[in-house]
Copies of this chain bind each other. A is one copy, B any other.
Amino acid sequence: MNQSIKPGDNPDLTEERLSGTFDTNSMAAVIYGSDKLAQRRREISEAVSRIPELQDSKPCPFMTREEKILEGSRKSAILNRLLPGLIDLDSFEETVFIHQEVIGIEGHPLALHESLFIPPIATQGTDEQQKKWLGRAQRREIIGCYAQTELGHGSNLRALETTATFDISSQEFILNSPTITSLKWWPGALGKSANWSIVIANLIVHDKNHGPHPFMVQLRDEKSHEPLPGITVGDIGPKMAFNGADNGFLGFENYRIPRENMLMRHSKVTPDGGYIRPPHAKIGYSGMVRVRSRMAAEQGLFLAHALTIAVRYSAIRRQGYLEDRSREVKVLDYQTQQHRLFPSIARAYAFIFCGFETIRLYDQLLIDVQNGNTSGMADLHALTSGLKSVVTHQTGEGIEQARMACGGHGYSMASYISEIYGVAIGGCTYEGENMVMLLQLARYLVKSIEMIQNGKSKNLGPMVAYLAANESEIDLNLGPNEYLKVFQYAARSQAWRATEKFQKLRNSGMSKEQAWNQASVELTRASRLHTRLYIMSTFINHVGSVVDQKIKKVLIDLLNVHITYEVMDIGIYVQGLLSSDQMDLIRNQLYVSLETIRPNAVSLVDSFQISDMQLRSVLGRRDGNVYENLFKWAKSCPLNDKDVLESVTKYLKPMMDKSKL
């Protein structure tokens, strides 16, 4: 049933796997959406494991930044050669998967090339521009990045300072960074690797600023790789994580590019300096929505990484005693440990289910937009804004709890969990800072409530229809959908509370902006509850659709952990609805559900099927043989190359010797 058992494994882990009640390959098929996709992941892991040149030359935590970038470049170059034989090149999933398997999660010099450099050329370049650059980019004759954010400017696009001024006489744009805050800052691969970039700059024609537009800009000489004259470029320095990526800065001083380098599929500048504006103002949105729509599944998988490590390790780590004083117990048997980990397992499943659902919604939206129907854009934009925010936050919490659940060794880079945390938590900030995102969703919620107030409830989309519903009696014995009603109550009452606060402040004569600001904490709370409701609802629906009964059984157990934990967690919002007896019932139900899931805990994380190579964690090894490998890992760390360090010979030894005089 559990497909991860092998001879030589730590018997404590084998015992856990034997207690599982379902087939882990079948569960993987449910997690990844199909048996085929799950199997492809296994096949790719297996194929990669047999290619020596794709293995890590040493553990990532032992590498300097320069070594990480070198390693990422080495593997990228090899993958560029081997990829056609290893994956389906048209599959985005497989492409992402193999890079994570081979290079890991700390970033690499080509990470943005596929996801942020090629798409703008493909969607915003004219046919001619695509002909000129798309093939070169796809074949990797050039390496590109995407330069938008500036040193002093993040979310507020309107405030970008970089200028591209049209010089009609030479038919060129002149790029300039007029201030220090206008330096492009943060773009991945910009620092050292890319030689081309999409640059977002304010288009200025005849002294008129038409706002930010995309330009195709060569940064470095294709022969020498030296920065071209007029270009200042470099790496922005070490970060909390992602240190295998060379995020960079970029400044322009009267740097000229031909008129044809503005991406002109939507907006255009004619040779005589005429400006043609794009058909839809919000056409640029879809790129952001695409990236955000992928974040829930991606973050869910980061959480899955951390939980795989923590749950496996908790099954082999023994500490303290219960009844039997002769042998210490597995820490996974402690209720506090289960309470730390199992609700997170449920969330990881929920996020992944919800993530793939959101990707489906995005793909549908793309088809709709191509057919001229952009009506779903606002809905999906609001949804993905909230989802990105809630999922990144809860993922971060869950990963840190997983790390701490590993005790002291969780703190060692051998656990690798702190690196996973560093990478995942970046998601709270990139692609739209979480507070800003929650407030974007809040606008949508407030608008929805205004529709209800204006008697137009019928026009509400399905995701917000509950805002107009009446309260109903809750009978918790009727199952998950009753818990959903509890969540609806919480989300609804908070959305109304926040909206009414905003409206009251408005009516008191306050400006819209100030009223919004003063209601904003309440508004963000409404957004979080709305999003958590959506996640729970998707989880319930997904479990309902599972056919395999053994799988369904354990997923229902996991769902019970989820709904009870989540309702307890938002308890303060349901005071008006549930009696204290009902709250007690839910609380007890949560503890029961933790015990129910216990025998399947290891199988549930095994089902994510993250290979040892991808996991990069000594603590999380499939075979559970942790301690001997921790020792091996430590002995091989760079500091142990010598018995006596320079710090001793140069400073400590002289200090001690002098003290002896």
Q: Does A9 contact B (CB under 8 A)?
A: no
* Identical subunits present: 2
Q: How far is the CA of A425 from the CA of B399 in the complex (A)?
A: 13
> Is there an interface contact between A656 and B140, defined as CB atoms closer than 8 Å?
yes
> Is there an interface contact between B408 and A425, defined as CB atoms closer than 8 Å?
no
CB of A456 to closest CB in B, whole Å: 29
> Is there an interface contact between A240 and B319, defined as CB atoms closer than 8 Å?
no
Contact flag A143-B413 (CB < 8 Å), given A407-B154, A511-B323: no
> Is there an interface contact between B154 and A408, defined as CB atoms closer than 8 Å?
yes
CB of A401 to closest CB in B, whole Å: 10
> Is there an interface contact between B591 and A521, defined as CB atoms closer than 8 Å?
yes
> Is there an interface contact between A66 and B408, defined as CB atoms closer than 8 Å?
no
In the complex, which of the residues A193, A426, A628, A655 has the most CB atoms of chain B within 10 Å of its own CB atom? A655
> Is there an interface contact between A180 and B572, defined as CB atoms closer than 8 Å?
no
In the complex, which of the residues A226, A633, A634, A652 has the most CB atoms of chain B within 10 Å of its own CB atom? A652
Q: How far is the CA of A235 from the CA of B237 in the complex (A)?
A: 27
Q: How far is the CA of A429 from the CA of B571 in the complex (A)?
A: 29
* Residues of chain B within 8 A of A65, CB atoms compared: 638-639
Q: How far is the CA of A296 from the CA of B500 in the complex (A)?
A: 41
* Interface positions of A from 506 to 521, Cβ below 8 Å from B: 511, 513-514, 517-521
What number of A residues sit within 8 Å (CB to CB) of B? 129
Q: How far is the CA of A341 from the CA of B356 in the complex (A)?
A: 35
Q: How far is the CA of A408 from the CA of B431 in the complex (A)?
A: 10
> Is there an interface contact between A580 and B576, defined as CB atoms closer than 8 Å?
yes
* Residues of chain B within 8 A of A591, CB atoms compared: 518, 521
> Is there an interface contact between A631 and B237, defined as CB atoms closer than 8 Å?
no
* Residue in B239, B627, B639 whose CB lies within 8 Å of A411: B239
> Which among A74-82, A481-489, A545-553 touches the partner chain?
A74-82
Q: How far is the CA of A637 from the CA of B511 in the complex (A)?
A: 46
One digit per residue, 1 when the CB lies within 8 angstroms of any chain B CB and 0 when it does not, for chain A 308-334 equals: 000000000111111100001000011
* Interface positions of A from 605 to 661, Cβ below 8 Å from B: 627-628, 630-631, 633-635, 637-640, 643-656, 659-660
> Is there an interface contact between A155 and B580, defined as CB atoms closer than 8 Å?
no
Contact flag A650-B74 (CB < 8 Å), given A154-B319, A156-B319, A639-B235: yes
> Is there an interface contact between B186 and A655, defined as CB atoms closer than 8 Å?
no
A-B contact pairs, 10 of them (CB 8 A): A62-B237, A69-B645, A156-B319, A192-B639, A192-B645, A227-B643, A323-B511, A323-B514, A335-B520, A408-B429
| Beyond known contacts A109-B647, A152-B317, A334-B435: 18 more, CB 8 A cutoff | A70-B646, A153-B319, A155-B320, A180-B631, A192-B639, A192-B647, A222-B656, A224-B644, A225-B644, A225-B653, A226-B644, A227-B643, A237-B639, A322-B513, A340-B435, A408-B430, A571-B572, A572-B572
